[in-house]
Amino acid sequence: MTVKIQWRLSQLRRVLSWFLLLGTLCFLQNVMEAMVMMGMHQGTLSSDSTGRDGHVHNKQHFTRITQKVGTNQAQNTTSINVVMDKQPNGAFVHIGKTGGSAVSRMLRNGCHSFMPKPCRRIPNETLASKLIQSYYHVPDFQTLPDNHHSFYVLTLRDPFDRTVSAFTYDHPLNDDSYQRNSSLADLNSRFKAYRCFPSLERFVQLLGDNNYYSYPHPPNVVATGNCQTLARAALDSQIRRFQHWFFDYGKIISLLPNDTTGTTTTIYAIRTEHLWKDWESVNRLLGTTTGESSTTSTITNNHHPVHPMEERKVAVTRDLSPMGRQRLCHALEAEYQHYAFLLKVAENLSDGDFQEAVAYSRQRCPNINYFHTPV
């Protein structure tokens, strides 16, 4: 009996010791948390009292990107000081068929808004990758007006090249060449949409020379009763099924917050034709020293980065007659004006870069009025 009592007392002492230890640990944890909170509070008061930003910050911090406009005589660029004391808030706007996939692979957050971030690890990560927190592509564009960012990086491509690339890429007869695993519903939807357009030449013939048409249907409806009207409405970003045309340069400009069209918020442009050069200039203006912006061999320096799929043999080709080319150029006049506008407001592009883009575009569309800026 005595042995049993002693054993029970021993067990009771052990239990009490565990409770005492647990209580001590909880007490110490509470003390440490209180000290941390006091330190944070004092730090906030100190920051507020200095009047550094003129207002009290909330818990969700954003990157302060202060523009220091000054002419660099050697490079004729605008410099930007990036203060890394808060979480960055840059955005990458991936416009379809502009080489945006190559850029997104160099960004830790280069994936759709519904995917967890970061979506990839980037070796030798550039400053642009660290500062860009949001990514916008076809499923995400509609949220652009609701989110304001410190700066926007847009991928751009000559409108003629972009339009032709979008047509051949999305055409259902090219699925085998692009090794698409489309669902039956998606394939049927695209066959219906492209039923009037068996070839690129047929599509531009239907565009005609008259800009006036009427498409009295909502964007989600593909009305194939009048093929000519369908062609014009598709290219004029009226039909959601033609997604890369639906989100054209004009649509993207309209979706950006009002203060981003060249006034207070910074816009950078990465041109498909000079992707590596522009990628480096963006990083340089964001503070990266020369030579630190190269992270991948996806892009070849000073060469046009052609997507491997675009080099494949396809059933529906890019072939166009001289008359077809002329009609497509005529139909793209407004898009060229929006393209010129974005090139003009891009902080990392010089006047020389703009003239270089004009020269390239005039090889495709010699009669384009490039210098008229849309209101």
**Before 219, cis peptide (omega within 30)?**
no
318 vs 296, residue with greater confidence = 318
Could you tell me how many residues make up the chain? 375
Percent of the chain at pLDDT above 90?
58
- Least Cα distance to 301 among 270, 278, 269 occurs for 278
Q: Is the pLDDT of residue 349 over 80?
A: yes
pLDDT in tens, 111-147: 999 999 999 999 989 999 999 999 999 999 999 999 9
Instruction: Kindly list the domain boundaries of the chain, sorted by start residue.
Output: 65-162+250-319+337-364
How far does CA 264 lie from the centroid of its chain? 19
Q: For residue 52, which amino acid is it?
A: R
Tokens representing 91 are 């955005």
Q: What pLDDT is stored for residue 13 in this prediction? A: 55
| CA-atom Rg of the chain in angstroms | 28
pTM passes above 0.75 = no
Question: 97: alpha, beta or left, given left = phi > 0 and alpha = psi -120 to 50?
Answer: left
Lowest mean pLDDT among 57-61, 124-128, 247-251, 262-266: 57-61
Integer Cα distance of 234 and 16 in angstroms: 77
Q: Is the pLDDT of residue 227 over 70?
A: yes
Q: Is the pLDDT of residue 187 over 80?
A: yes
Burial zone of 241 (CB within 10 Å; 0-12 exposed, 13-18 middle, 19+ buried): middle
Q: What pLDDT is stored for residue 314 in this prediction? A: 92
